[in-house]
Structure 1
């Protein structure tokens, strides 16, 4: 079996540029089920996407979702995650195929936790995400560098590395 390149993956999966960085496509939303009530309004019970970081778009910038998200590794190079918890704790994890090296096939991020992702090497890293209750842009905040630095000054290097310089 031939290993696909990033352009083949983008075309085959119908991925488009994501506001956080990288590429994505929604793969599921349960139109056959009633939506659930959340403080922000009605949401699907769950949604899922494919998400791709590439060597030309290697950063998923800091963002925070209200819903819980489970990330699943699929193909390519390992994807590094950085999580800033409300108590100020920084957690790191690597999604990838080398379990003996401590890489993981799955990572759960609870709603309310800031996260960023990074592809430090390789042409691409492909994951999927399942979000419950389902993803809605109204429930997501992009991290602003100055705000994150004020809240988490002890993690300035990670914040500066994964926020846009504007």
Structure 2
């Protein structure tokens, strides 16, 4: 059985600012003009949550992100939709779970391993490619001010 430590070593993963572990594995050589400046047409990472780091903090990106479960799981995603609603999606292999998740640009998202799960390895494709200038973290005061209806559900997932 492949463990989280095995994946971290095998894939050369490093700590991610959102939580968990990651490594960029692809950056498209084609460049697109975006409102934030020139960006690669696409980029991709491996992203791992595990028991020592089971939370991907609430954040948003300008770009659309496609998530694919590769190993382990399930992992729960929390999405604050444009209308302010909260949607939960579980990436996993059981009935009612998904292997793939699209998160449109501008949507706040967080991820979390259920308590009994050792790890989840997810690959992500970002369109147009990821740039830290296009990334925002949510903080507790912002969550309380903008989405007070979700404060109880999401407060453990912010910085």
**What is the TM-score of this pair, normalised by structure 2?**
0.97
Partner of 2:144: 149
What's the offset of the Cα at 1:159? 2.2
Alpha-carbon deviations, 1:60-110, whole Å to 9, x = none? 000010000010011112010000012111011000111x2x110000000
Partner of 1:55: 51
Partner SS state of residue 48, structure 1? strand
Q: Which runs of 4+ in 1 moved over 6 A?
A: none
- Structure 1 unmatched ranges of 5 or more: none
CA distance in 2, matches of 1:22, 1:42: 28
Partner SS state of residue 82, structure 1? strand
Alpha-carbon deviations, 1:118-151, whole Å to 9, x = none? 0013211111100000000000001111112110
Partner of 1:73: 69
What's the offset of the Cα at 1:57? 0.1
CA distance in 1, matches of 2:83, 2:13: 35
Partner SS state of residue 88, structure 2? strand
RMSD of aligned Cα (Å): 0.8
- What is the total number of aligned residue pairs between the two structures? 158
Is 1:130 equivalent to 2:125 in the alignment? yes
CA distance in 1, matches of 2:42, 2:11: 20
**Pairing partner for 1:140 from 130, 135, 138:** 135
Conserved? CA contact 1:145–1:159, under 8 Å: no
Partner of 1:110: 104
Partner of 1:10: 8
Conserved? CA contact 1:75–1:125, under 8 Å: yes
Is 1:119 equivalent to 2:117 in the alignment? no
Partner of 1:22: 20
- Structure 2 unmatched ranges of 5 or more: none
What's the offset of the Cα at 1:53? 0.2
